[in-house]
Structure 1
Amino acid sequence: MQVFHDVEEYRKTWLNWRKAGEVIGFIPTMGCLHDGHISLVKAAQKQCSKIVVSIFVNPSQFSPDEDYDAYPRTVDNDVELLKKNNVDAVFVPSVNTMYPSGITMDVDKQEGAFVEALGVSHQMEGKFRPHFFRGVCTVVCKLFNIVRPDKTFFGQKDIQQTVVLRRMVRDLFLPLEFIVVPIYRQEDGLAMSSRNRYLSEEQRKISCVFSQALLKAKALFEQGTRDRATLIKVATETIEAEKSVRLEYLSLAHPTTLEELDTIGEDGAILSGAMYVGTTRLIDNVTLGFSF
């Protein structure tokens, strides 16, 4: 496995792969890797002959009140894990490489080129993290231009992110296939996340109420329920019955426009939300009436 820090060094390898007719799959990450990330690697290996994973903690998706410096960085362990799983290349750029004009978390003072996907970034997660998807779109667009993959793989757990980035790929005519991989869950239903490491054993057990609530609503949908009020109510009541968690929001949205729905139509819907267990914020979702 090759580890690259420099764009031009990677591109020499990319050129050799391209000449050899390799199909390149790409998985962007912020590191702190777990089995959910490895599920993306395995999905990519089924469709691609070369796999590239990037590790970069992206400052532009953090707001000034979020602690960018405190985000866990486990690059050495991540590289070993990817090596064990037969990844072909890891791209670990510096902040200066990714932001040659420099970067500050104060959006009003930022300089350089940035990317936004308007219309799908302001709702749901965007209500609580208003500059988050601007940062995500910017860094992922840069990484796509560096890595030049044929296919890219993202996890369903960050479902709004997949909708936002698909819109970016479509509207900017980026020449790659965007593939969404189902959520990797632990046996008790908890979605795998880097944030799970912050949960105590007791909090870990409590957190399962989130997936249980979403699955209750999904069962109602599969029995024929289509109205927002009923589906949101059953999920909300299930979560709020666990007094030690705090529900931040639940959304029932169209799968491509992210418009909030009163009734689920033939296109289906995304039921998603966020909740706090102690100080740890968790997100989760289920798809209703459609699949990726």
Structure 2
Amino acid sequence: MNHAYILTLSCPDRTGIVHAVSGFLLERGGNIEEAAQYNDHGTGLFFMRVQFACDRLSHAELRAQLKLFAEPFAMDWQLHATAEPVKAVLMVSKEGHCLNDLLFRWKSGLLPLDIRAIISNHREFYQLAASYNVPFHHIPVTAATKAQAEARQYEIIETEGAELVVLARYMQVLSDDLCRKLAGRAINIHHSFLPSFKGAKPYYQAHDRGVKLIGATAHYVTADLDEGPIIEQDVARVDHSKTVEDLTAMGRDTESQVLARAVKWHSEHRVLLNGHKTVIFK
């Protein structure tokens, strides 16, 4: 049986990188099944994602040999076994549409995740978590207890070995310290088409401005509120007759779909960070 892997890499651009990667895999009996690359002429960086099968070497042997191969290219690389789903922790507050959507897609086999826990600052969704047999952790957060609450949250994340944290409408602003600890592995859904209407109550802001499009943005979490690298966005058309409540109801579907796509691409290792931006190999 073939062992399938995904190799992602970025490095300074130069001639012969694709040839070198292909040759490296060929020499080790690797069969490339999917490949994509991108040259960012603005930054001079090269990005590549390769999905391949290889049963000649073990995962550990491949990693050891890749480390030596990558050094002359100054590559930032990762190797993932496709048979291993991404361990994830979901965080939520009082609105559960994104959480419910992710759980359903996961159980339906549409997301390559291993959801290890749900963390919430409210109790609303403990029964939903139980119906999916996912441990539920209720951790209240106040201004006075924020540091202790985040310490407990991070303890759960690390204990579960989470490679991904999804803020599925978790409505607390994470501290700079926790943002740094989760850099590159925490995805947030913002109910607005960023960079417009950042912060709290974006649908109220949008309604006040009389927008004709509302949207949602999935992005990586950074210490700068709603400024992280964007993974996915989508919009829905509205008109002057829509109330704030109408915009909020319409936006829920968009939020769920945008977040699900972002989580899927991340868990399939299709998203590579490029400074403040992302490269996505769909």
Q: TM-score, normalised by structure 1?
A: 0.32
State the structure with more CA Rg. 2
Q: TM-score, normalised by structure 2?
A: 0.33
Q: Which has the higher helix share?
A: 1
